[in-house]
Amino acid sequence: MDLEKSISGMYRSLLVQLLEKIPDLQSVLEDTEVIPMTKQDCPGLIVLKELLQNAVMALGNRSFICFIDALDECDELQPGSKRPLAPTAMAAQGGNEVDTLRFLRRKAPELPTPDVKATWETGGRRYIVQDRVPGQTLGAVWHELDLSAKVRSLDQVVAVVEWWRTSTSSKMSSVTGGPVESLRWWSTGFMPWGPFRRKRELFAYFEDARGGCPGVVRDMLWRNMPDCRPWTFSHGDLHVYNIMVEDGNLSGIIDFATAGFYPVWWEYVQLRLACGAKPDHEWKHMLQLRMKDSCHDAEAAMTWATVCDELASLPDGVTDATVGWLREQFSNEGLRMYEAIADARPGNDQNEGGELQRGAGLTAKTVSKTTATKAFLARWRAKLTTRHGC
């Protein structure tokens, strides 16, 4: 075995995984001090190490999960190929990932959740060693699937998400009650959010994170902000490269770095706001359509979140034209009806008891579906266990 070649293959595999998942990090390849412009062949081990180090440093507060193959096989298989018994190592800022995985394993051991084997911190970064989820990412095989196979993957992911959504909290927080570090809150970047018990607390923090906004805009955003409760367990990053499949079936969901209890509509909204290129766009569109009916105030939430996202990217700030545009966005019949109901019911911010009542109704409706869902997942888990002999 050529050990030097295998080590290079490992670094090359890790680098490819990182740059494919987070495309903006590809700028490290433009550093001519590391890779001379005259360089035509594959970079050597020293260069690969430096490129990987630069890419990891550029991660900032973001997290990344990578697959580490056996050294003598790194040059033979593409990243993401199944490797029985090989662990997954993850470097991440913050400690919510481990707590979330253990929370899910306790709550629903029949769900395909990675088992954490060890965790430690060094150099200001936290590392996790966990069971390797078998199979490949859905993104790696999406182009090979026919419609029926895509729908089967969709059905299985929705079953898991619906089971997650039966877990609610009295506040927006991590599973341990601390702040969550969201992947994206309308262009404010990575930062801790919460814990919040009331919609007004979340709105005030959101407004402060964006640097404030004129009173008329603030009033329109607040008036049209959907109810948040019950704060519902959400993954928040269900893109195709966080979904693992094997033999045509879901084998696991990974990357819970930003998971926690969020507004009841958050998972649905994230599917559009954090949507990547094809195949992620196609996948999230399908998932969004399936989740719409189970998401409280789905369209109102999507309109509100999209408006907030657009406001954050305005080059000239808020103008009279902006105010007119806002009125237009919030003027359709559905939102007018929503505003009237929000003003009339006791669930507005002066008395949020109505939100709790509506939230309880949603939870009961969702729970009524979980018997069949749990039975399906139990059969599915049994098949996986039999197939892998674990």
Residue 98 maps to a domain: no
Residue 205 maps to a domain: yes
Helix (H) or strand (E) holding 66: strand 64-67
Residues 238 and 377 in one domain: yes
Tell how strand 168-169 and strand 243-246 pair up. Answer: unpaired
Domain boundaries, position 25: 1-68
Listed in sequence order, the residues at least 6 apart from 168 whose beta carbon sits closer than 8 Å to its beta carbon are 230, 231, 232, 233, 261, 359, 363
Residues 297 and 155 in one domain: yes
Q: Minimal CA–CA distance to 120: which of 103, 137, 98, 141?
A: 98
Q: Is 367 exposed, middle or buried (0-12, 13-18, 19+ CB in 10 A)?
A: exposed
CA 364 to centroid of chain Cα atoms: 25
Q: Minimal CA–CA distance to 13: which of 83, 60, 63, 62?
A: 83
Residue pair 225/264 in contact by the 8 Å Cβ criterion = no
- Angle, in degrees to the nearest 10, between helices 199-209 and 215-224: 140
Distances in whole angstroms, Cα of residue 61 to Cα of each of 93, 190, 193, 198, 262: 6, 6, 14, 27, 20
Dihedral sign computed on CA atoms, order 196, 197, 202, 205:
negative
Distance CA 268, CA 272 (A): 8
Q: Indicate the SS3 state at residue 325.
A: helix
Query: Which of the listed residues 31, 52, 68 is the one where a domain comes to its end?
Result: 68
Residues 244 and 341 in one domain: yes
Q: Dump pLDDT digits (tens) for 239-278.
A: 999 999 999 999 999 889 889 999 999 999 988 777 666 7
Residues 191 and 336 in one domain: yes
Q: Minimal CA–CA distance to 90: which of 186, 17, 170?
A: 17
Q: Is 378 exposed, middle or buried (0-12, 13-18, 19+ CB in 10 A)?
A: exposed
Question: The tokens 């902006």 sit on which residue?
Answer: 322
Tell how strand 88-92 and strand 168-169 pair up. Answer: unpaired
The whole-number pLDDT of residue 348 equals: 42
Q: Dump pLDDT digits (tens) for 350-374.
A: 334 333 333 333 333 333 334 444 4
Helix (H) or strand (E) holding 116: strand 116-122
- At 107, the amino acid letter reads K
Residue 387 maps to a domain: no
Residue 351 maps to a domain: yes
How many other CB atoms sit within 10 Å of the CB of residue 292?
A: 13
| End-to-end Cα, the chain, rounded Å | 31
The whole-number pLDDT of residue 317 equals: 63
Residue 114 maps to a domain: no
Residues 311 and 222 in one domain: yes
Residues 216 and 331 in one domain: yes
The whole-number pLDDT of residue 159 equals: 93
Residues 189 and 64 in one domain: no
Bond prior to 279 in cis (omega within 30° of 0): yes
Residues 259 and 338 in one domain: yes
Distance CA 7, CA 277 (A): 32
Residue 342 maps to a domain: yes
Residue pair 80/137 in contact by the 8 Å Cβ criterion = yes
Residue pair 113/83 in contact by the 8 Å Cβ criterion = no
Residue 154 maps to a domain: yes
Question: The tokens 């062949």 sit on which residue?
Answer: 41
CATH code, domain carrying 337:
3.90.1200
Distance CA 376, CA 342 (A): 38
The whole-number pLDDT of residue 264 equals: 94
In the predicted model, residues of the chain with pLDDT beneath 70 are: 1-7, 36-42, 61, 63, 66-95, 122-125, 183-190, 212, 275-277, 313-318, 332-390
Query: Which of the listed residues 33, 68, 103 is the one where a domain comes to its end?
Result: 68
Residues 170 and 268 in one domain: yes
pTM: 0.66
Residues 53 and 155 in one domain: no
Residue pair 211/187 in contact by the 8 Å Cβ criterion = no
Q: How many independent structural domains does the chain possess?
A: 2
Altogether, the residues listed in the chain come to a count of 390
Residues 173 and 58 in one domain: no
Residue 2 maps to a domain: yes
Query: Which of the listed residues 23, 40, 68 is the one where a domain comes to its end?
Result: 68
**CB burial string 20-59: b at 16+ within 10 A, e below:** bbeeebeebeeeeebeeeeeeeebeeebbebbbebbbeeb
Residues 298 and 194 in one domain: yes
